[in-house]
Structure 1
């Protein structure tokens, strides 16, 4: 099966089952979505995410989370929600993203396995969480760069509120998500609940690495997280 081929439909998962998975995998996406940067000794210079603002203070994070929850609750009363269907392609026109999806699962160590590095234009979705368009927080992740150069989410931190991301699903529906905010969090103080917690409406989180690259650890110090909600859908 090629990366562009639609995958079989997956049954809806119970909130309880999802909770077990999030308990096992929550911290990992804040600390593990560590994508390999170019080796400083390689022929090319290291590529990182564009400069991002300093992480928000806890009080500011709490205020932002409360505002987001209030907005989500209001949307849940009349906002769109779709049945589960696996995503097959992601399009974010404003930053030039047009990429197929691959499923991401937890490894034997309880950590999320990132997309393979041999194709820099891949987006991954967490296969044991809500599907994009389904009620809850659907998780999408990808590389900011790899050892061979820029990757799919190199410009993710440049997204602005109001921008849209289209996800084409295996059922032929194109789900359009509207960006609410783009935030940068230190991996040492990643707000798991704010990013991965259950939501009353259909939301999307797009995650990559950002901030300063730590050459000693061969890792970026921050994560860039896009918060978005399902705005509309259409038959593709």
Structure 2
């Protein structure tokens, strides 16, 4: 059974992605490595690694804000990624949703280079049981925040998948916000 929230209420997700200011990329530290294994029962995710863009972070759990938009990691910690805990856990059937900032506090964020991810790239998620579940990217998209594809991101799937989300596109200085979202879709690696 997937834990999917009311999709209509999540169309404001893009607006919840806190405005980030442009910055230069910086090096990141690697998470603890674990053995790659096939998923079984849902297990809490602890870290994420996107090797093709050197994006590695622990994962904080994210819920919903009072206005029913998805929380985002603290903007004052732009290198922190977060797992939306009302989405399936990575390795469970359905789309596990991970959010991260493109930048914040005039520094690059964990998903600074998410737009550079390519089809075929690997995404690994370390889990509380010490296992790692791996996904293969099958789609990368950039969409205007006002046309956020809620069903494609949060809708049920019959297999384990992952979605990575950040801000992207042009920065609107007047509103302190990016106009687009960058979305990465992945399916369980064979």
TM-score range, shorter chain: 0.7 to 0.9
- Residue number in structure 2 paired with 1:37: 20
CA separation of 1:146/1:115 partners in 2, compared to 1, >3 Å: closer, same or farther?
same
What residue ranges of structure 1 are gaps of 5+ in the alignment? 1-13, 39-45, 50-79
Q: Identify, as 1 or 2, the structure richer in helix.
A: 1
- Residue number in structure 2 paired with 1:181: 139
SS in 2 for 1:198: coil
Aligned match of 2:75 in 93, 102, 117? 117
CA separation of 1:99/1:25 partners in 2, compared to 1, >3 Å: closer, same or farther?
farther
Please identify the structure whose Cα radius of gyration is greater. 1
Instruction: Give the distance between the partners of 1:164 and 1:138, measured in 2 at CA.
Output: 15
Q: Identify, as 1 or 2, the structure richer in strand.
A: 2
Instruction: Give the distance between the partners of 1:48 and 1:111, measured in 2 at CA.
Output: 28
Deviations 1:17-59 (A, max 9, x none): x24x233642132x22423223xxxxxxx3399xxxxxxxxxx
- Residue number in structure 2 paired with 1:95: 53
Q: 1:172: how far off?
A: 1.1
Aligned match of 2:84 in 106, 113, 126? 126
What residue ranges of structure 2 are gaps of 5+ in the alignment? 26-37
Q: How does 1:163-178 map to 2 (within 5 A)?
A: 163-178=121-136
What TM-score do the two structures reach when normalised by structure 1?
0.71
Instruction: Give the distance between the partners of 2:75 and 2:180, measured in 1 at CA.
Output: 20
- Residue number in structure 2 paired with 1:156: 114
SS in 1 for 2:7: helix
Deviations 1:83-132 (A, max 9, x none): 21111011111101111000001022212121012322211001111001
Superposed CA RMSD: 1.9
